[in-house]
Amino acid sequence: MSSPTRVSPEHRAEHTPEAIQRRLSEGPSHSYLRDFVYGAIDGAVTTFAVVSGVAGAGLSTNIVIILGVANLLGDGFSMAAGNYLGTKAEAEQRERTRQMEERHIASFPDGEREEIRQIYAGQGFSGDLLEQIVEVITADRERWVHTMLREEHGLPSIVPHPLRAAATTLIAFILVGMVPLVPFIVGFLITIPQPYVVSTVMTAVAFFLVGMAKSRFVEQSWYKAGTETLVIGSLAAGLAFLSGMVLKFVA
């Protein structure tokens, strides 16, 4: 027989009736963690890929900085714009689907009510309880529409703000993507031996820290998340370095 799971005082306090009521009254919120991690990893990978490619080709530090900064600005804006348009398209799709469901409810209420009945019957409800559920949901038009969006179309209740998603991606891209360039930029002020080696170490640490940060919001251990991100980034950088070496011999 397994021992009962230990519950921390913090978790116990979060599940008091007062805490639950306060949390639910605040309503759900959207997390922009995906946008941050996506921008941070891509920023570090692409910038370090540029650094690795140039280093593999044996080009000068000036070229590293010029191409690196160009990548930060150009690719960072491109990613942010793509995220903005994609998130906006999702919001527009949800709005179109919402309007469609409102028209269907207004024109075919019996059919839409039957859809609710079959949805919850498929989840194991039956008899009087099923009819009560159908009655409660269809008694409120807004609740009815939201239920159809979630259960029939699989659309989320919360849609991220396109500008916030894009800004999060851009900021993360530039902040973390700047890390591989720091040794080369500082090299203009003081002498740094083997700046590419320093850049490699700093970028590896950045990869690992981004993974650790992600682990705080998902069910994954910090060392596993950090190692996973580090491996993915290292593979991309290694491919870029090899490409630079090949191009050096070709040229």
Q: What is the pLDDT of residues 237-246, one digit of tens each?
A: 777 777 767 7
Confidence of residue 126 (pLDDT cuts 50, 70, 90): very high
190 assigned to some structural domain:
yes
Q: Could you tell me the end-to-end alpha-carbon distance of the chain, in angstroms, rounded to an integer?
A: 69
**What is the Cα–Cα distance from 46 to 173, expressed in whole angstroms?**
10
What's CA 8's distance to the chain center, in Å? 29
**What is the Cα–Cα distance from 58 to 107, expressed in whole angstroms?**
69
12 assigned to some structural domain:
no
2 assigned to some structural domain:
no
Instruction: Note whether 119 and 146 are within 8 A (CB).
Output: no
Residue 31 falls in which region: left (phi positive, over 0), alpha (psi -120 to 50) or beta: beta
Number of domains in the chain: 1
pLDDT at 124 over 90: yes
CA distances (Å), origin 8, targets 2, 11, 12, 18, 85: 18, 5, 6, 18, 43
Using CA of residue 163, residue 169, residue 175, residue 177, what is the dihedral sign? negative
Q: What is the pLDDT of residues 156-214, one digit of tens each?
A: 877 788 999 999 999 999 999 999 999 988 887 787 888 888 888 998 898 888 888 77
Burial class from Cβ neighbours inside 10 Å (0-12, 13-18, 19+) for residue 193 reads: exposed
17 assigned to some structural domain:
no
**What is the Cα–Cα distance from 200 to 191, expressed in whole angstroms?**
17
pLDDT for 250 equals 64
Beta-carbon count within 10 A of 15 CB: 10
Instruction: Note whether 36 and 170 are within 8 A (CB).
Output: no
**What is the Cα–Cα distance from 222 to 13, expressed in whole angstroms?**
25
Mean pLDDT in residue range 72-79: 90
pLDDT for 141 equals 93
State the residue range of the domain holding 52.
33-250
Burial 156-166 (b: 16+ CB within 10 A, else e): eeebbbbeebb
44 assigned to some structural domain:
yes
pLDDT at 100 over 90: yes
8 assigned to some structural domain:
no
80 assigned to some structural domain:
yes
Of 203, 205, 228, the C-alpha closest to 50 is: 203
Of 27, 58, 35, the C-alpha closest to 250 is: 58
pLDDT for 1 equals 46
What's CA 251's distance to the chain center, in Å? 39
Instruction: Note whether 83 and 169 are within 8 A (CB).
Output: yes
180 assigned to some structural domain:
yes
Of 58, 40, 48, the C-alpha closest to 235 is: 48
